[in-house]
């Protein structure tokens, strides 16, 4: 049994007061006549050109084609969705939000019908839609960005035949006939030996059972389950081997694919070389377990710390063995290896998942195979709540799109209530975060130097930096990236910063009465040492307090979780301020608030995170005339109404809105 905790965090148990929010409707009074006429005429001309263009015929499937309409900058809210202009009555269907507009499925006959509607709109909402749309184009034309295609081609791994593999995503046609036409187009490319497809795709069968059967060669037999999750029958993703980059251009132009992500090996950081010491280890039976998704464990020193080991996905001859050993040494006893650094005196046990190939080894694993394997590990080891992944692709994350692997990791970790900790990646030709550091659900960790006293200092010059796709606040945390590791040498990289957060997260989880991934994440962020968000170091290092589940004597931490609905305001009232923070009837001290949303996400289209959260802290001030007035203290409220305080806040991403926010205020 663990020691009794002093000053544990408090759990708020009150229920909120809920108030509804009324959504806005389309307002025709906002229409500017000159802008309206210009945009209406532009839409008429662009639709006429698209209708008869040979590129449109090439991208048409089953009498359907995808267009993209761009909204103006003031029309990004969902209340301006152009569903009145584009509706099924005229043969059009809105498929998804994408970038700063919408993808629309057009039947061939819809062009004339929409043009007639543009010439004579019958309702104010239709006129509002026309006013808000800047232009329309064939979606395949919008995707034909030569530099983007060339960059993706250069990042993909080539097989023995010279083909390069991509995870491609098929267009989300609602028409079954159009979906079949897309599959037939891919099959034609395969028959002409321009691409190599999985057998299930050639047959037109997009069910998971067949994809899982294709994965038998990758998954160890004992880990294969017939119950692999189904691929979505719209917008499915599948691996495709492509002969040359001209074929990739042709696939995009054909409208058969709408996204292509290069398949390449995950790469560990700075594996180094050297003999492994063989030292005895004390009993660690009571310590929490961290699942280590890495190159396995192949030394002897920490065999006593291994709680379990999965059958390898990557064979020993291909695995990043030395890297896995070094990450393991940090997880078990980083404070002993790097004993000049200010680190908590914590030990962890290891759950070993050998799934990362060594640097320079051309051993790529399809994302779906890796995700199925990791999900099976999650299922088989329910006692392991925190999982460390110190490996990244050798490319930066996209400005808009979350990677397939990053999205898949979010899905399976949230489905099985696991907390992932992922390294930010090390710089190469680019400096932005490397996938899967775009995983929404994970804590992303960048590197940081130390000062002469062994305390956290400046950003590590080797570490990749944020922000993530659509302005996601990634990384969330940072910690020492240079360590003495197993083998006796010193290595540097975000691979060695992430395990510091993982081991602290595992102990935080084990010390909470009712833990959850987001609650542990919130406590770690709350204990970070920076007052404002940094795109290099996140919210900082979780050192204040050293043990996030314990409050210092002059601090109170209150935590709670809630299920919330859209278009609602929630108020938790009656939270008592500790007497030690009140002097002469006024609040004195420092307050910090962390709000984390478990969001609704979508892999395709714009606004990957389709929910937003605003949070604030208020107090009631008595009015001279009687009654009370709510006054802001922290959060997304007007900071100018509170005198004599300084306030720091991060630069927020403008596209997704808020999904994670930290505020602090100091009263003097």
The distance from CA 538 to its chain's CA centroid, rounded to whole angstroms, is 15
Residue 644: per-residue pLDDT? 28
Backbone Cα Rg of the chain? 27
- β-strand partners of 609: 601
Residue 280: per-residue pLDDT? 66
Q: What is the CATH number of domain 289-526?
A: 3.40.50.200
- How far, in Å, CA of 360 to CA of 358, rounded? 6
User: Which residue intervals of the chain bear CATH 3.40.50.200?
Assistant: 289-526
The alpha carbon dihedral of 534, 538, 541, 543 has a sign of positive
Question: Taking the model in full, what pTM does it have?
Answer: 0.78
Residue 572: per-residue pLDDT? 85
Q: Collect contacts of 22-31 with beta carbons under 8 A, ≥24 apart.
A: 22/567, 23/79, 23/567, 24/77, 24/79, 25/79, 26/79, 26/80, 26/84, 26/124, 26/125, 26/128, 26/129, 27/128, 28/124, 28/125, 28/127, 28/128, 30/128, 30/131, 31/127, 31/128, 31/131
Q: What residues in the chain have per-residue pLDDT under 70?
A: 1-8, 20-24, 198-236, 269-281, 487-488, 604-606, 622, 627-628, 634-668
Give residue for tokens 């046609």.
173
**490 phi and psi angles, rounded to 5 deg:** -110, 130
- One DSSP character per residue, 146-205 reads HHHHHHHHHHSPB-TTS-EEEEEE----S-HHHHHHHHHHHHHHHHTTSEE--HHHHTT-
Residue 5: per-residue pLDDT? 43
- How far, in Å, CA of 388 to CA of 499, rounded? 6
Residue 210: per-residue pLDDT? 36
The alpha carbon dihedral of 650, 614, 406, 296 has a sign of positive
Residue 22: per-residue pLDDT? 62
Residue 202 contacts residue 126 (beta carbons within 8 Å): no
Beta-carbon-side half-sphere exposure of residue 44 (alpha carbons within 13 Å): 13
Residue 29: per-residue pLDDT? 77
Extended strands (E) in 193-317: 195-196, 237-242, 259-262, 289-294, 306-309
CB neighbourhood size of 561 (10 A):
14
- How far, in Å, CA of 196 to CA of 201, rounded? 10
Mapped onto helix, strand or coil, the DSSP state of residue 42 is helix
């Amino acid at each position: 049994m663990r020691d009794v905790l002093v000053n544990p965090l408090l759990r708020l148990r009150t229920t909120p007061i809920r108030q509804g929010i009324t959504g806005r409707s389309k307002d025709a009074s906002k229409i500017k006549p000159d802008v309206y006429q210009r945009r209406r005429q532009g839409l008429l001309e662009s639709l006429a050109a698209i209708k008869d263009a040979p590129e449109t015929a090439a991208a048409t499937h089953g009498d359907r084609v995808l267009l993209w309409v761009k909204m103006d900058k003031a029309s990004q809210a969902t209340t301006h969705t152009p569903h009145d202009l584009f509706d099924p009555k005229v043969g059009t269907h809105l498929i998804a939000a994408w970038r700063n507009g919408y993808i629309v499925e057009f039947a061939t006959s819809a062009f004339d019908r929409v043009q007639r509607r543009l010439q004579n709109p019958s309702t104010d909402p239709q006129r509002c839609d026309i006013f808000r749309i800047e232009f329309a184009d064939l979606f395949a034309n919008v995707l034909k960005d030569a530099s983007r295609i060339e960059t993706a081609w250069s990042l993909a791994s080539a097989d023995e035949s010279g083909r390069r593999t991509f995870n491609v995503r098929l267009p989300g046609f609602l028409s079954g006939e159009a979906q079949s036409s897309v599959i037939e187009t891919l099959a034609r490319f395969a028959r002409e030996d321009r691409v190599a497809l999985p057998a299930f795709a050639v047959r037109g069968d997009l069910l998971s059972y067949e994809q899982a059967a294709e994965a038998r060669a990758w998954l160890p037999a004992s880990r294969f389950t017939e119950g692999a999750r189904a691929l979505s029958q719209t917008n499915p993703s599948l691996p495709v081997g492509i002969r040359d980059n001209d074929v990739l251009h042709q696939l995009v132009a054909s409208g058969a694919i709408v996204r292509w992500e290069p398949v390449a090996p995950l790469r560990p950081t700075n594996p180094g070389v050297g003999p492994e010491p063989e030292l005895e280890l004390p009993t660690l039976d009571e310590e929490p377990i961290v699942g280590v998704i890495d190159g396995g464990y192949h030394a002897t020193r920490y065999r006593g710390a291994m709680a379990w080991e999965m059958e390898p996905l990557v064979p020993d001859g291909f695995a990043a063995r030395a890297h896995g050993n070094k990450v393991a040494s940090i997880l078990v006893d980083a404070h002993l290896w790097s004993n000049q650094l200010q680190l908590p005196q914590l030990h962890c046990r290891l759950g070993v998942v050998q799934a990362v190939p060594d640097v320079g080894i051309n051993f790529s694993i399809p994302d779906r195979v890796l995700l199925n394997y990791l999900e099976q590990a999650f299922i088989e080891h329910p006692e392991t709540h925190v999982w460390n992944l110190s490996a990244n692709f050798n490319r930066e994350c996209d400005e808009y799109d979350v990677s397939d692997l990053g999205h898949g990791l979010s899905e399976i970790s949230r489905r099985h209530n696991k907390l992932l900790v992922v390294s930010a990646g090390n710089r190469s030709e680019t400096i932005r975060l490397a996938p899967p550091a775009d995983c929404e659900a994970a804590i992303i960790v960048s590197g940081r130097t130390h000062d002469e006293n062994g305390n956290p200092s400046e950003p590590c010059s080797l570490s990749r930096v944020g922000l993530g796709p659509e302005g996601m606040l990634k990384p969330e945390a940072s910690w020492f990236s240079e360590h003495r590791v197993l083998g006796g040498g010193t290595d540097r990289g975000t691979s060695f910063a992430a395990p510091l957060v993982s081991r602290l997260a595992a102990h935080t989880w084990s010390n909470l009465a009712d833990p959850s991934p987001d609650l542990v994440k919130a406590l770690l962020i709350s204990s970070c040492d920076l007052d404002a968000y940094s795109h290099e170091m996140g919210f900082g290092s979780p050192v204040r307090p050293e043990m996030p589940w314990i409050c210092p004597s002059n601090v109170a931490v209150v935590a709670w979780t809630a299920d919330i609905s859209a278009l609602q305001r929630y108020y938790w009232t009656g939270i008592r301020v500790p007497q030690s923070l009140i002097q002469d009837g006024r609040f004195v001290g420092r307050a910090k608030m962390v709000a984390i949303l478990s969001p609704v996400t979508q892999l395709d289209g714009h606004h990957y995170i389709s929910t937003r959260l605003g949070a604030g802290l208020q107090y009631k001030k008595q009015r001279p005339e009687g009654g009370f007035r709510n006054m802001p203290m922290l959060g997304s409220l007007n900071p100018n109404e509170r005198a004599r305080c300084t306030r720091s806040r991060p630069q927020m991403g403008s596209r997704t809105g808020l999904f994670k926010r930290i505020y602090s205020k100091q009263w003097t």
